[in-house]
Chains A and B, each alone.
Chain A
Amino acid sequence: KQEVTQIPAALSVPEGENLVLNCSFTDSAIYNLQWFRQDPGKGLTSLLLIQSSQREQTSGRLNASLDKSSGRSTLYIAASQPGDSATYLCAAPEGSNYKLTFGKGTLLTVNP
């Protein structure tokens, strides 16, 4: 059974700081991993999908990396802004079936 852990549960940083969010998973036989953002009272917005054949995926100020051998993924946010404040979740599949297991998220607050 896939288990996904996100550390830290909450993070508060000043505006402009670069930061890293961590995601670890127990079943390394994954074919991809996805990062999401969730604003309060809203649905999840897909940020990045990393295929198992990739080591990194970039979108704007976001960079996600995947290391299957160590069971870890990181989401790097460059030059953070108050608008980046949200909960960030990662999700990894359970084996080769259709089920994604989600971490409980990291609540990010970027202070002006």
Chain B
Amino acid sequence: DAGITQSPRHKVTETGTPVTLRCHQTENHRYMYWYRQDPGHGLRLIHYSYGVKDTDKGEVSDGYSVSRSKTEDFLLTLESATSSQTSVYFCAITPGHTYTGELFFGEGSRLTVL
């Protein structure tokens, strides 16, 4: 258990509305990631963070923004949700402060955009 909490776990929203997903960790890990998982595409990296206020884009970052104002929280924002963003979103961390490539995942947040 890497001490990752995602919220909300389930959300239904309408096209055009803003949505923020939260990833919270309690063990001071430096590296945090947001992935989405879709049938036929597998897991794809959206954004990642390598420290407070240090973030970078992943493979599918269009339409998403992130913020990390403190170590424990990594927020994923959909500024104007679209149906193509219906997905399961996973937060992950690399334990500790040194990058090892090892990932531990949260339980996921299922988002439905109508």
CA distance A104 to B40 in the complex (A): 7
A90 → chain B, closest Cβ, in Å? Answer: 11
A3 → chain B, closest Cβ, in Å? Answer: 11
Which of B33, B99, B106 has a CB less than 8 Å from the CB of A43? Answer: B106
A-B contact count (CB 8 A): 54
The answer to whether A44 and B101 touch (CB under 8 A), given A102-B43, A104-B42, is: no
Q: Are B108 and A32 in contact (CB under 8 A)?
A: no
CA distance A32 to B102 in the complex (A): 8
B53-92 interface with A by 8 A CB criterion? 56, 58-59, 90, 92
Chain A residues within 8 Å of B42, by CB: 89, 102-105
Q: Are A98 and B99 in contact (CB under 8 A)?
A: yes
A30-79 interface with B by 8 A CB criterion? 31-32, 34, 36, 42-46, 49
Q: Are A99 and B107 in contact (CB under 8 A)?
A: no
Please classify how large the interface on chain A is, using the bins under 10, 10 to 19, 20 to 34, 35 or more: 20 to 34
Chain B residues within 8 Å of A31, by CB: 101
Residue B31 interfacial (CB < 8 Å): yes
Q: Are A44 and B45 in contact (CB under 8 A)?
A: no
A105 → chain B, closest Cβ, in Å? Answer: 7
Q: Are A99 and B104 in contact (CB under 8 A)?
A: no
B45 → chain A, closest Cβ, in Å? Answer: 5
CA distance A45 to B1 in the complex (A): 9
Q: Are B102 and A46 in contact (CB under 8 A)?
A: yes
The answer to whether A99 and B48 touch (CB under 8 A), given A43-B90, A104-B42, A105-B42, is: yes
Residue A100 interfacial (CB < 8 Å): yes
Chain B residues within 8 Å of A93, by CB: 101
Which of A43, A45, A49, A99 has a CB less than 8 Å from the CB of B102? Answer: A49
For the A-B complex with A45-B105, A49-B101, A104-B42 known, give 4 more contacts whose Cβ atoms are closer than 8 Å. Answer: A43-B107, A91-B43, A102-B42, A104-B40
Mark A residues whose CB is within 8 Å of B: 31-32, 34, 36, 42-46, 49, 89, 91, 93, 98-100, 102-105
Mark B residues whose CB is within 8 Å of A: 31, 33, 40-45, 48, 50, 56, 58-59, 90, 92, 99-108
